[in-house]
Amino acid sequence: MHGGAPPLRTRKPLVDEAVDQDPLHHQGLPCFFYRAALPLSSRTLRYAAGTIRRHRKSIGSRWRKLCPGQQALLVLAYLRKGETFAELAAGFGVGTTTAWRYVEETVALLAAAAPKLRKAARDAKKAGHAYIVVDGTLVPIDRVAADRPFYSGKHKRHGMNLQVIASPAGDILWVSGPLPGAVHDKKAEWIWGVLAELEAAGLIVLADKGYQGAANAITPYKGKNKPQSQKDANRAHAKLRAPGERANAQLKTWKILHKLRCCPWKAGKLAKAIHVLQIREA
C-alpha cells in the first residue's frame, strides 16, 4: 500500500451473507443468487401448498419440477415481493414460462376461494359487527395518457378501481373485481351491488365522501362553513372509519399491487387471492 497505509482488513462473511463470487448462469446470462426473507407465516405457506396439492390430485397431474411447497413459495414471492417471472425462474431453477404458469394456476385457485359478496355480508351480520366500512382503492398500472378510461382523477394516475369491505377492526371481508380507474367509487359500488347487498343483510355502512348520495351508506357532511355539530359528527365518523380503511393498506403490503406489470384486468383476481392469504395471516 502507498504511504505506509495499513492493509485492508477483511472479515469472514456471516452464513446468511455468504455468496458465491463466481456467477452462475441462467438462460445464458450471468447472475448471482442470494438468500432473502419472506415476511409471511408458515401457516400461509402450508395453506397455499395444500391448495396446490389438492388441485394436482384432482386433475391427475404428472410429476413437476417443483413440489407443491416450492410452487407455493414461488407464488408467495411473486405476490409479496413483486418479483418478476425472470427473477423467480432464476431463483427456483425453472423456465420463465413455467414460473408464469405456476403463478397463473395458483392465483386462480386462491381467488376462487375468496368470499362472495352475499356470503361476506351474511358472515359480517353473524359476526355482530356494529358497522362495516366500504372504501375504494386504486391499483396503479402501466398506461399512457391516451388511456383515459384507466385514469383516476382522484388519484392523478392510471389504475384499476377495487371496492373493499372491511370490519371495524380493519379486517378485509370482501374485495370486488376490477373496474377502470376513471370509474368513481359510488358508481363502482353500484355496479357490484355492494350497498344493496349490505342493506339486505341489515348492516350499517360507513363510507367516505366519494359515496355521498348513496341511500344505504352513512357519509360525512359536505360543504364549507358547516355548523360545529356537523364538524363534530365528521370527526367522529372519520374516527370510526379509520380502522376499517386500513384494510386497503393490508392489500398494499403485497408489492405486486404497488404497480401492475401484467394485464390490468387481473387486478381483481390478484387482490382476491391476496385476501384469501391475508385471512391466514390474521
Look at residue 16 in the predicted model and tell me its pLDDT: 40
CB atoms closer than 10 angstroms to residue 41? 12
Contacts with 122 (C-beta within 8 Å, 6 or more apart), sequence order: 201
C-alpha cell at position 153: 382523477
* Rama region for 88: left / alpha / beta (φ>0; ψ in -120 to 50; rest): alpha
Look at residue 2 in the predicted model and tell me its pLDDT: 47
Closest CA to 240 of 133, 127, 124: 133
Contacts with 168 (C-beta within 8 Å, 6 or more apart), sequence order: 129, 130, 131, 132, 133, 240, 243, 244
Look at residue 147 in the predicted model and tell me its pLDDT: 65
Q: Burial of 64 by CB count in 10 Å (0-12 exposed, 13-18 middle, 19+ buried)?
A: middle
The type of residue at 51 is: T
C-alpha cell at position 49: 401448498
Rg of the chain, C-alpha, whole Å: 23
> How many residues appear in the chain?
282
pTM (predicted TM-score)? 0.85
Classify 104 as helix, strand or coil: helix
Look at residue 25 in the predicted model and tell me its pLDDT: 54
Asked whether the beta carbons of 115 and 174 are under 8 A apart, the reply is yes
Look at residue 5 in the predicted model and tell me its pLDDT: 47
> What is the set of domains in the chain, with CATH numbers?
21-112 (1.10.472), 117-281 (3.30.420)
pLDDT digits (tens, 9 = 90+) for 82-103: 999 999 999 999 999 999 999 9
Closest CA to 103 of 83, 119, 126, 120: 83
Look at residue 33 in the predicted model and tell me its pLDDT: 64
C-alpha cell at position 174: 370482501
Alpha-carbon span 205 to 169, nearest angstrom:
14
pLDDT digits (tens, 9 = 90+) for 220-268: 998 888 999 999 999 999 999 988 788 888 899 999 999 998 889 999 9
DSSP lists the bridge partners of residue 25 as: 30
Look at residue 26 in the predicted model and tell me its pLDDT: 53
C-alpha cell at position 95: 423456465
Q: For each of the chain's 282 residues, which pLDDT tens digit applies?
A: 445 444 444 444 443 433 344 445 555 556 666 667 888 999 999 999 999 999 999 999 988 999 999 999 999 999 999 999 999 999 999 999 999 999 999 999 999 999 999 999 999 999 999 999 999 999 999 866 556 788 888 888 899 999 999 999 999 999 999 999 999 999 999 999 999 999 999 999 999 999 998 888 999 998 888 999 999 999 999 999 988 788 888 899 999 999 998 889 999 999 999 999 999 987
Asked whether the beta carbons of 197 and 121 are under 8 A apart, the reply is yes
